Structure 1
Amino acid sequence: MTLSLLDWGVLLAYLAVVLLIGFYFARRNTSTEEYFVGGRRFRGWVIGLSLVGTSISSITFLAYPADAFKTGWLRYLPNLALPVALFVAAYVFLPFFRRGNMTSAYEFLEQRFGPSVRVYGALAFIVAQLVRLAMILWLLSLLIQQLVDVTPTTAIIGAGLFVGLYTIIGGIDAVIWTDVLQTVVLMIGGLLCIWVVVEALPGGLGQVFREASAAGKFALAEFDDGTPQPVRWQPSLSEKTVTMMLLIGLTNWLTEYSSNQNTVQRYCASRSMKEARRGLWVYLFTALPVWAFYMLLGTALWVFFQHYPDPTAAAVLTGEARAESIMPWFITEYLPSGIAGLVVAAALAAAMSSLDSSINSVSTVSIVDLYRRHLRTGLSDKHYLTVARTVAALVTVLMILGALWLNGASTHTLQDTSTILVSLFGGGMLGLYLLGFLTRVGDARAAWCGIGMTLLFTGWTVLTNKGLMPAALSAPFDLYYTGLIGNLVMFLVGYGMARLFDRRPVAAA
């Protein structure tokens, strides 16, 4: 697969703009307040679009169209819980983080439960983000290799250094504004793709809806040999049902908007409570349509390849080729010169917008929650700013090394490693925050009892998943629900132990 000179020109122009944004904001970063939260001056629409950029990653650009192309719209279902989660976040979570000029999500944990719980939350976030960074960079390198004839090592190192450079020098200002740009580019790229499809079909967009509907491609269903199999609605812990997938979606979104530093840092960077809430609504009314649009793009590609048969598309439908390869194939083989370059830029934007946010967030948490709070207290702000940049550089190196390791590992190893690490260190975080937000009881002892029990529970499910537990002791539920149950364990054990210790209620922060 090769790109034309015009495509390369468009792509390089986009990358140059991203890099210039980083250098432009570098001159502003004279304090940690600027580097971490941009002086707390961002308007809601900027925060909202940056949240879209942070959350979409490569899943939106590659996995959503791939899933809709091969099956139906079942993957979209958990997203329908987002409005409920954002309403709770705007009126329950957000006020806690807007008090006292917080910078980190884990400052609240210290106010509510003490410094040891704050350290746990910070370390759990850092571990999870390092795993996430390595995975996203590795996935980005796969996309680059499909589009350009380079080695995996070159793709990983080149992409990692580029994202790291503008993030390290530009701080949160560069992260937020490049995320806004990347969100816009992603939307334009998708529109161009579907425009090419619609122009090629005699019946246009109407033909897409007619033929896809007749084949059940819009169904919220599992597919078996190309035939949609309806998913039940009844609550169940032994199978995936509509109700349970909505609950999983609600749990994931509530976790994202209660305890994820990538999100909370946007709350703190907003000009006011009003602007922070406005950012959440901008995110809601942008993200849901964008995700739906990329699902529609996958459905449209299915109709397109019904009329223009292609061996690669057929191999995806039969399972002989990875479903995620359909978008890169369509871009390089069917898009006109110039448009292909912009769409490739959109694909890169989808991954870079997640990488830059995580690098900056890990740097922020490392300094605010660990280094300045416990390791080196009372030093000058200039010192902490220098260390923050150093940490961002170190995170970039670890991200690259992790992606290089994943490139040499099997897919099975990749999935197992990421699932185990993220589950063990991040499990129950929503339950912990809900204990702090919704109750006035409990201290560090109750929180640690909940954390310990959640770690034991998650470890049990990991051993079950790897077949290391006797049948009689294996988890009697679908492991898809581990996170949901883990958060319940965290909240109930923490609350129960708080009552057992019978301490006087403490005021919520």
Structure 2
Amino acid sequence: MSAQWIDWIVFGIYLASVFAFGLYMSRREESSSDFFLAGRGLPWYAIALSLFASNISSGSLVALAGDAYRFGMAVSTLEWGAIVCLSLLVFVFLPYYRSSFVFTTPEFLEKRYGPTARMLFATTAIAVELWVYMPYMFYAGGLFLESLFGLPFAWSVIGIAVFVGIYTTIGGLGAVVWTDVIQGVLMIAGGLTVTALALAEIGGWTAFCEQVPEEHMSVCLPGDHPAYPFPATMIGGYLMVSIYYWCQNQTIVQRTLAARSEWDSRMAAVGACFVKLLLPFVLVLPGVLAVVLLPNLGTGAEADKVLPKLIETVVPTGLMGLIMAAMIASLMSSADSGLNSLATIITNDFYHRWLDKSATESRLILVGRIASVAVLICAVTRALTMQKNESLMQFLQVGLAYVAAPIIVVFLGGLFWRGATSVGAVATLLAAPLVCFFSQHGQEKIATWWPTHMVYWLPIAVGILATLLVAVSLCTQRKSAADLEGLIWTRKTALAKSEHHSGIKDYRLWAVLALALMAAQIWWLR
């Protein structure tokens, strides 16, 4: 497909604006807190849009639309699960992250369990980001540009990486978050535009409902469904992956740590819940609309190209520049976030913690920038060597499952049980790869009745690891009550009311409303 000159002008202006803004933000970096946490001065609405934009990469756009084409609106359960997990972030984890004044989630784990647990988590986080998450984003972005514009896959990946790397490496988290605000709004506008144009092409909502297969409009798929069995998708393995992603993943938590107050950090997560309520109609519905407009794509890897093909079918000349910018925005917002968060972990959890404890602020910023470049090179190399996968979304979820299982066990165990010990946490983290492997391949290694889908085997892995944490902790020395002060969950801290934000500004009121609206959506699409 070839865009018209006006579309390329719009697209070029957008890229130039993002680049200029990144350079402008780089003038503000005077300390490591400025570079990695934007000086802890970000407002809630900026963080809320950044949380959304960081989560929805072009990989997510491609993968969600692809799975929606295969399986229907049931893919929305991933977005609803995120609302549940963001609520957990608000009421369980955030108060303790904020009060600990940490830069990274591995750093918090050291306060609870000690340096070995921190090092293991940091190493695991880096490995999964470099091997799974960031390559997945670049791969999907290259696939998108190749499908939509016929650009060479390799050059698409490299070009995007170079552009993102420049403004992220120079500007730090401040540049990342504020560009995410622009890109988040652009993504929502682009998604709504594609949805509206596709509906108009079909003849409206009524005509669409008459033509689409009935099962594609239901979220309550049978328990033996191969991809999205309900309600296991809401309470099983997908939920556990989401707990890790939204509550312990550095990319997400780092933004809330950069808020100017605890109320802003909590309200940002609640605000992201309301954005998530839009996504079934912005990101999932286009894939289902394509079932009517493009019925012959099949259910294999070709289905992951449904979004660019739908755009090619329904978007007229003149709007293509907006859609091009929205799609590239989705890639850049996630890539810059992953890049900055990994640089933060490498700099603070390895370099500053182990190699140079007396490093100056300027040295830490320099190391962060060097780490960003190194991460970018590794992620691009991995993306260029990835093989085409049957489902990009399934690839991502299974990859994250291996790190999610042990991390949610040690974090939840550490917050809710005083008896969890350092030795128990380390044993859990070390045993996790083997436990997850046998849980995933249990039908081959253990018994034919063993469940094969992640929504079932991941809870089994979590149960085994939780048992291990308890067993080892009961046999080893726990920390004193004084050492655990401020690190154990209490109802008073979790539900604390902000003195200056009562009534309509009470984050608790909005959190409950978001959950109620989520339940209403599920009931409507049951």
With normalisation by structure 1, the TM-score equals 0.87
Length, aligned pairs only: 481
C-alpha distance in 2 between matches for 1:424 and 1:206: 43
C-alpha distance in 2 between matches for 1:333 and 1:339: 13
**1:421 Cα deviation from its structure 2 partner:** 6.3
**1:388 Cα deviation from its structure 2 partner:** 0.7
- 3-state SS in 2 of match to 1:389: helix
Contact between 1:237 and 1:477, CA under 8 Å: does it hold in 2? no
Contact between 2:59 and 2:138, CA under 8 Å: does it hold in 1? no
Which of 341, 357, 361 is the matching residue for 1:361? 341
Q: 1:505 to 1:474 in 2, by over 3 A?
A: farther
- 3-state SS in 2 of match to 1:440: coil
**What corresponds to 2:272 in structure 1?**
283
**What corresponds to 1:373 in structure 2?**
353
**What corresponds to 2:30 in structure 1?**
30
- 3-state SS in 2 of match to 1:217: helix
The one-letter code matched in structure 2 to 1:160 is A
Higher mean displacement: 36-45 or 286-295? 286-295
C-alpha distance in 1 between matches for 2:259 and 2:447: 49
Answer yes or no: is 1:50 the counterpart of 2:50: yes
**What corresponds to 1:498 in structure 2?**
473
**What corresponds to 1:315 in structure 2?**
296
- 3-state SS in 1 of match to 2:218: coil
**What corresponds to 1:255 in structure 2?**
244
- 3-state SS in 1 of match to 2:56: helix
Q: Per-residue displacement from partner, 1:11-46 (whole Å, max 9, x unpaired)?
A: 111111211121110111122110100011111111
Which of 326, 332, 335 is the matching residue for 1:346? 326
**What corresponds to 1:476 in structure 2?**
450
Q: Map of 1:21-100 to 2, 5 A cutoff? A: 21-100=21-100
Q: Per-residue displacement from partner, 1:361-393 (whole Å, max 9, x unpaired)?
A: 000011111100111111211111111111111
Q: 1:390 to 1:143 in 2, by over 3 A?
A: same
**What corresponds to 1:128 in structure 2?**
128
- 3-state SS in 2 of match to 1:315: coil
Which of 222, 226, 234 is the matching residue for 1:231? 222
C-alpha distance in 1 between matches for 2:107 and 2:208: 50
Q: 1:210 to 1:96 in 2, by over 3 A?
A: same
C-alpha distance in 1 between matches for 2:400 and 2:103: 23
Which of 258, 265, 268 is the matching residue for 1:269? 258
Contact between 2:48 and 2:271, CA under 8 Å: does it hold in 1? yes
Contact between 2:422 and 2:478, CA under 8 Å: does it hold in 1? no
C-alpha distance in 2 between matches for 1:443 and 1:237: 39
**1:410 Cα deviation from its structure 2 partner:** 5.2
Which of 363, 381, 385 is the matching residue for 1:383? 363
Which of 211, 231, 237 is the matching residue for 1:243? 231
**1:261 Cα deviation from its structure 2 partner:** 0.3
C-alpha distance in 2 between matches for 1:344 and 1:413: 23
Contact between 2:85 and 2:247, CA under 8 Å: does it hold in 1? no
- 3-state SS in 2 of match to 1:314: coil
**What corresponds to 2:509 in structure 1?**
none
Contact between 1:128 and 1:426, CA under 8 Å: does it hold in 2? no
**What corresponds to 2:421 in structure 1?**
443
Contact between 2:439 and 2:460, CA under 8 Å: does it hold in 1? no
Structure 1: gaps spanning 5 or more residues: 222-229, 306-312
Q: 1:237 to 1:8 in 2, by over 3 A?
A: closer
The one-letter code matched in structure 2 to 1:45 is Y
C-alpha distance in 2 between matches for 1:108 and 1:67: 36
Q: Per-residue displacement from partner, 1:191-214 (whole Å, max 9, x unpaired)?
A: 221232343344x334334544x7
Q: 1:239 to 1:34 in 2, by over 3 A?
A: closer
Q: 1:453 to 1:238 in 2, by over 3 A?
A: farther
Q: 1:139 to 1:238 in 2, by over 3 A?
A: closer
Structure 2: gaps spanning 5 or more residues: 488-526
- 3-state SS in 1 of match to 2:216: coil
**1:424 Cα deviation from its structure 2 partner:** 4.6
**What corresponds to 1:179 in structure 2?**
180
Contact between 2:109 and 2:117, CA under 8 Å: does it hold in 1? yes
**What corresponds to 2:151 in structure 1?**
150
Q: 1:112 to 1:443 in 2, by over 3 A?
A: same
Higher mean displacement: 409-418 or 376-385? 409-418
Q: Per-residue displacement from partner, 1:389-436 (whole Å, max 9, x unpaired)?
A: 111111111122112222xx4547999997886555554111110011
**1:460 Cα deviation from its structure 2 partner:** 2.2
**What corresponds to 1:189 in structure 2?**
190
Contact between 1:157 and 1:400, CA under 8 Å: does it hold in 2? yes
Considering only aligned residues, what root-mean-square deviation do their CA atoms show, in Å?
Answer: 2.7
Q: Per-residue displacement from partner, 1:136-166 (whole Å, max 9, x unpaired)?
A: 1011111111223332221121111111111
C-alpha distance in 2 between matches for 1:238 and 1:435: 31
C-alpha distance in 1 between matches for 2:230 and 2:429: 29
C-alpha distance in 2 between matches for 1:65 and 1:414: 10
The one-letter code matched in structure 2 to 1:246 is M
**1:87 Cα deviation from its structure 2 partner:** 2.4
Q: Per-residue displacement from partner, 1:307-350 (whole Å, max 9, x unpaired)?
A: xxxxxx2321x447711222212223431112112112211222
Q: 1:351 to 1:242 in 2, by over 3 A?
A: same
The one-letter code matched in structure 2 to 1:282 is G
Contact between 1:331 and 1:344, CA under 8 Å: does it hold in 2? no
**What corresponds to 1:226 in structure 2?**
none
Contact between 1:450 and 1:489, CA under 8 Å: does it hold in 2? no
**What corresponds to 2:15 in structure 1?**
15
**What corresponds to 1:217 in structure 2?**
216
Which of 432, 444, 453 is the matching residue for 1:454? 432
Q: 1:35 to 1:137 in 2, by over 3 A?
A: same
